[in-house]
Structure 1
Amino acid sequence: MQQHLEAEVLVAGAGPVGLTLAMTLASRGVKVLVVEPRARLEPPSVKCNHVSARSMEIFRRLGVAAAVRQAGLPPDYPHDIAYRVSATGKELTRIHIPCRRERYTDTEGPDGNWPTAEPPHRINQIFLEPILFRAAEACAGVTLLNEHRLAGFRQDANGVEASIEGLDGEPRLTVACRYLVGCDGARSGVRHAIGARLQGDAVVQRVQSTYIRAPGLRERFAHAPAWATFSLNPVRCGNMYAIDGKERWLIHNYLRDDEPDFDSVDRDACIRAILGVGPEFAYETISHEDWYGRRLVATHLRDRRAFICGDAAHLWVPYAGYGMNAGIADAENLGWLLAARLQGWGGPGVLDGYEAERLPITEQVSHFAMNHAHAMAQQRGSVPPNIDDDDAAGAAARAELGARAYALNVQQYACAGLNFGYFYAESALIAYDGEAAPAYTMGSFEPSTVPGCRTPYFVLADGRPLYDAMGTGYTVLRFDSGIDLAPLLAAARAVGMPLQVLDADRQDPRAAVYRHRLLISRPDQHVAWRGDALPADVQGLVDRLRGAWAAA
């Protein structure tokens, strides 16, 4: 006999994206069921190594940032990116990234002074995911069902009925829910079910990737260790990530255009060339993690009550860590929109904001990643043959290549633009005023209060970071306490829209960007509206922000 379960939202997939979505919904009082084929706390792959600043800001709001920050590499292990002839050979250049112990105090270098209370963190997914899983498991309103998968679903105007099956032959479960979200990865069944297709560039690069254990590798380094170490030499170019800072490493071997598949080159010989070690050096292969770099974006992210997030919605070369991190941003965006609709204050059009906002940004970031992949491939193909020579010409070649490597790659590893510069340009949930947002680039950004941009960060006079002083709903930043906000508060209260007032100041120089006396920041810290006085039609503004203008 089939067992029947109920939830407001069913999430397929308990990776970092699905778990973030579940916690985001639960933090707003929504009941969530998460189904995941893997066993409880079964380790994920080692594919993701970086949590962006925007993701860390989300984790801070969810109460897990401190736990994430304390995990991963040892506290004093350098988070630098080193460029060398080989991992154990001569160093060409180094991008300085503060280690975990000095993340809040080391403000020098390109990655040391982020406009946020939560700068990025280098941590592999094998350490990150268990932290998120346990945090989600502890959330009131979240049920995690491991060793089960979504077998299918049907939907109508009132809800979704999903079929869940156990992997051990258990009878199928039927789940009645209001909405369903597929965070079920690159081979997403939900994406297929809603008729979405991935389109773009199927193969940008091929990477023969190997997870190894090599306890004796660190002692062979001629220079200080690094979180990421790129090897640039005429024989074989690749990259090595430190997983635990002791003995586990992930080696990426970038295949050339004339190397058509993962078995077309000698894996062991390539690893030794990347590491700069001979046949006497012993290491253990833990797993093969080969992957294709792609640039694929779904044609749509929603069909009525079913949505997709993360790798189900987009796949690209994971430069700057923006595969998983883009998915976490998807989850944050969709989470508060779903909660708004479920709680009744979000209007019939509020859920239209998800695709209207996330799909254009996803497309743009995919091009950033692909273009950077092509530029790096060109650089790998231009390594001079004398790069390792011990004469003046060799030293000059290393200096020249090191300068080019630094200039090209600092923008992806200190990617303030990618983190803080994206904006939502065509959303019906935002009250635009005609001013264009600053250009969106990977490496740098200009803080702006243009509606659709990230709410600029600063620290209040009492020492609180701005985002810590905001609630989980909308926040009116008032830079003139004499402005009467009663009409706006009354309009919001009448429809149940969460709205708080925060009297702000401009003592922090970073607050100078706020040119208007009033600004409304959304639950996801994007600017919804700004002005020097309330508009004549306050009710119209509230209805726009909550998506109440659309027909039911």
Structure 2
Amino acid sequence: MNAPAEILAADVLIVGAGPVGLTMAMDLAARGVKVLIAEIRRYAEPPNVKCNHVASRTMEQFRRLGVARKLRDAGLPADYPNDVVFRTSVTGIELTRIPIPCRRDRYTEAEGPDAWWPTAEPPHRINQIYLEPILLEHTAALSGVTLLNRTQVTGFMQDETGVVATATSLDDGGTRTLRARFMVGCDGGSSAVRKQIGAKLEGTAVIQRVQSTYIRAPQLRSLIPGKPAWSYYSMNPRRCGTMFAIDGHATWLVHNHLNAEEPEFDSVDRDRSIRDILGVGPDFEYEVISKEDWVGRRLVADRFRDRRVFLAGDAAHLWVPYAGYGMNAGIADALNLSWLLAACVQGWADERILDAYEAERQPITEQVSRFAMDHAQKMIRARRTVPADIEAPGPEADAQRADIGREAYELNVQQFCCAGLNFGYYYTGSPVIEYDDAAPPAYSMGAFTPSTVPGCRAPHFWLTDGRSLYDAFGPAYTLLRFDRHADVAPLQRAAQATGMPLTVLDVDAPAVPAEYVHALVMCRADQHVVWRGDAVPRNGDAFIARLCGRAMAEATL
């Protein structure tokens, strides 16, 4: 007779321990929520060489979760330039350069397109092979988190109280039963969770194929003229590609952007393409560490949820990773959802609050994916129009290269210094945001207008005591009071009656952004404004009920 399967229980089951799943677990644990993570890889098994950029919004949340400093201390050498350079080849003629501060100067540099960020935590260039182990170690040590490695969730059922999943050990074939109130599929582009809930990816299946190779080439850096860079764009008539510095010394990731008439990864000579991108001859020696070929897509799931089961990250959306917004958008999903799940587990919110997740994140995902796709198509056109004589000597060719450099700078500065994607996006149509008559300002990949319109990110500023505004935010809702005469007691009483955590912050700051024109501004832990006014809503109970996901009273707020 077979022994009964082991049963493990938690509040939330997360399928997948990549950066998205780990970040969600960190946030849930910080809120006292018990978490199970099922991951098919072994503990500390090296991740693929993927994302190279942690966005400012992500770093702001890592600061809150206590891991930002660890991440800042990892990756490229502290003094290694994070610049993006465009050349005829990696070792060839420089066309233009986008200056980005090295991590040593990240907090102090004030000049350049990537140095003016209105935040306590600017971006950080670090490859996933360094990022993920730090997140993993931090998460595994947290109280309330159980990490199940070499464990595959093979199926699940759900009812009105929770989810029951069957998990199989990939080492011995044993089975476990995993019980949770909620489950989140962070299991990547081929997500089994997405398939079981019947969600479908819709959009453009293939934008471009990229033959990607992780190499070790210790001699390469000495062959590159001038100041080093984090990212190198190679533009020549033989082969266009991109290279990223991984360790700043010997390891590099080379992307060979295939042309439309090259439909298969193996239809192009990998070695020759790498040499054309690098600008080196047949005698140059390098070692292939791994092949990391990928397909650029623009696919968004038609739904992010089936009752108690949710999708986040690549399980919910796949797009060309321009501006690094594959992983970062997935982490934004996780942090949008985690506080909503915690609100339900903690008991102060109705489960209808969970409707906000899909209502907020799916439209943003659609917008951002189109930004990325549009940029990808512009880059494809640019690669097709590289002139045959781009490497020719003489003043005429110099002038041509200068023109190409200016065009490359203008096109790409917005993706590498993407303030709009960090700070400009806003949520519309959310059931837990009290909108007013003002429209949120438009944004692009590179530009935005700060705003306190409900749904927008609360503009950052520093408090007199030296803290970032976000450092003073509470775990759920924070009411910023700019006029200490404003009576907020009715909201405090209503919040206390429901158990909703409400932090009232009397703002004391040397300078407050001009966008704060109201006496009161209510914000969430993810920094988005949910309401603003000069006096508390007339029906405070109904207002708090809305923030808790409960049905709105008929009375006007």
| TM-score normalised over the length of structure 2 | 0.98
Letter of the 2:527 counterpart: Q
- Deviation of 1:506 (Å): 5.5
- Deviation of 1:348 (Å): 3.0
- Name 1:346's counterpart in structure 2: 349
Distance in 2 (alpha carbons) for counterparts of 1:223 and 1:464: 39
1:76 to 56, 71, 79: 79
Distance in 1 (alpha carbons) for counterparts of 2:419 and 2:50: 22
2:205 to 199, 202, 219: 202
1:221 to 214, 219, 224: 224
Letter of the 2:117 counterpart: W
Distance in 2 (alpha carbons) for counterparts of 1:301 and 1:335: 14
* Map 1:131-146 → 2, pairs under 5 A: 131-146=134-149
Distance in 2 (alpha carbons) for counterparts of 1:464 and 1:512: 19
- Name 1:446's counterpart in structure 2: 449
Count matched residues: 550
Q: Deviations over 1:84-141 (max 9, x none)?
A: 0000011000000000100011111000011110000000000000000011011111
Distance in 2 (alpha carbons) for counterparts of 1:205 and 1:401: 22
Deviates more, 1:263-272 or 1:462-471: 462-471
Distance in 1 (alpha carbons) for counterparts of 2:537 and 2:28: 31
Distance in 1 (alpha carbons) for counterparts of 2:412 and 2:194: 33
- Name 1:391's counterpart in structure 2: 394
Distance in 1 (alpha carbons) for counterparts of 2:473 and 2:178: 35
- Name 2:69's counterpart in structure 1: 66
Distance in 2 (alpha carbons) for counterparts of 1:45 and 1:245: 18
- Deviation of 1:349 (Å): 1.4
Contact in 2 for aligned 1:349/1:550 (Cα 8 Å): no
Contact in 2 for aligned 1:234/1:383 (Cα 8 Å): yes
Distance in 2 (alpha carbons) for counterparts of 1:132 and 1:473: 23
- Name 1:468's counterpart in structure 2: 471
- Name 1:537's counterpart in structure 2: 539
Letter of the 2:361 counterpart: R
Contact in 1 for aligned 2:350/2:548 (Cα 8 Å): yes
- Deviation of 1:169 (Å): 2.1
- Name 1:88's counterpart in structure 2: 91
Distance in 1 (alpha carbons) for counterparts of 2:409 and 2:275: 24
- Name 1:50's counterpart in structure 2: 53
- Name 2:262's counterpart in structure 1: 259
Letter of the 1:549 counterpart: A
* Map 1:18-417 → 2, pairs under 5 A: 18-417=21-420
Distance in 2 (alpha carbons) for counterparts of 1:242 and 1:265: 23
Distance in 2 (alpha carbons) for counterparts of 1:171 and 1:211: 35
Q: Deviations over 1:437-488 (max 9, x none)?
A: 0003110111100000001101112221100111212111000111111110
Secondary structure, counterpart of 2:349 in structure 1: coil
Distance in 1 (alpha carbons) for counterparts of 2:109 and 2:418: 17
Q: Deviations over 1:413-440 (max 9, x none)?
A: 0000001100001101000001000003
- Deviation of 1:513 (Å): 1.1
Distance in 1 (alpha carbons) for counterparts of 2:490 and 2:315: 43
Distance in 2 (alpha carbons) for counterparts of 1:70 and 1:476: 34
Secondary structure, counterpart of 1:136 in structure 2: helix
Contact in 1 for aligned 2:545/2:552 (Cα 8 Å): no
- Deviation of 1:518 (Å): 0.3
Contact in 1 for aligned 2:254/2:274 (Cα 8 Å): yes
- Deviation of 1:315 (Å): 0.2
Letter of the 1:296 counterpart: L
Q: Given the alignment of the two structures, is residue 500 of structure 1 paired with residue 503 of structure 2, yes or no?
A: yes
Q: Deviations over 1:189-211 (max 9, x none)?
A: 10011110000000001100010
Contact in 2 for aligned 1:386/1:393 (Cα 8 Å): no
Distance in 1 (alpha carbons) for counterparts of 2:271 and 2:471: 50
Secondary structure, counterpart of 2:267 in structure 1: coil
- Deviation of 1:236 (Å): 0.6
1:519 to 518, 521, 527: 521
Secondary structure, counterpart of 2:193 in structure 1: helix
Secondary structure, counterpart of 1:476 in structure 2: strand
Distance in 2 (alpha carbons) for counterparts of 1:98 and 1:182: 36
Distance in 1 (alpha carbons) for counterparts of 2:509 and 2:127: 38
Distance in 1 (alpha carbons) for counterparts of 2:552 and 2:391: 65
Letter of the 2:549 counterpart: G
Distance in 2 (alpha carbons) for counterparts of 1:393 and 1:43: 49
- Deviation of 1:550 (Å): 7.4
Secondary structure, counterpart of 1:7 in structure 2: strand
Distance in 1 (alpha carbons) for counterparts of 2:360 and 2:276: 44
Q: Which runs of 5+ in 2 are unaligned?
A: none
Q: Deviations over 1:367-413 (max 9, x none)?
A: 00000000011111111222111101110111000000000000000
- Name 1:431's counterpart in structure 2: 434
Distance in 2 (alpha carbons) for counterparts of 1:449 and 1:523: 15
Letter of the 1:97 counterpart: I
Contact in 2 for aligned 1:417/1:440 (Cα 8 Å): yes
Secondary structure, counterpart of 1:144 in structure 2: strand
2:422 to 414, 419, 422: 419
Distance in 2 (alpha carbons) for counterparts of 1:166 and 1:524: 36
Letter of the 2:189 counterpart: A
Distance in 1 (alpha carbons) for counterparts of 2:148 and 2:37: 6
Contact in 1 for aligned 2:217/2:286 (Cα 8 Å): yes
- Deviation of 1:333 (Å): 0.4
Letter of the 1:428 counterpart: P
Q: Deviations over 1:305-348 (max 9, x none)?
A: 00010000000000000000000000000000000011111123
Secondary structure, counterpart of 1:459 in structure 2: coil
- Deviation of 1:170 (Å): 3.7
Distance in 2 (alpha carbons) for counterparts of 1:511 and 1:147: 49
Distance in 2 (alpha carbons) for counterparts of 1:440 and 1:511: 18
Secondary structure, counterpart of 2:205 in structure 1: strand
- Name 2:486's counterpart in structure 1: 483
| TM-score normalised over the length of structure 1 | 0.99
Contact in 1 for aligned 2:546/2:552 (Cα 8 Å): no
Contact in 1 for aligned 2:542/2:552 (Cα 8 Å): no
Q: Which runs of 5+ in 1 are unaligned?
A: none
Letter of the 1:82 counterpart: V
Contact in 2 for aligned 1:347/1:550 (Cα 8 Å): no
Identity in percent: 61
Letter of the 1:541 counterpart: F
Change (3 A) 1:550 1:484: closer
Aligned structure 1 segments of 4 or more residues deviating by more than 2 angstroms = none
Deviates more, 1:513-522 or 1:462-471: 462-471
- Deviation of 1:171 (Å): 1.7
Contact in 1 for aligned 2:230/2:244 (Cα 8 Å): yes
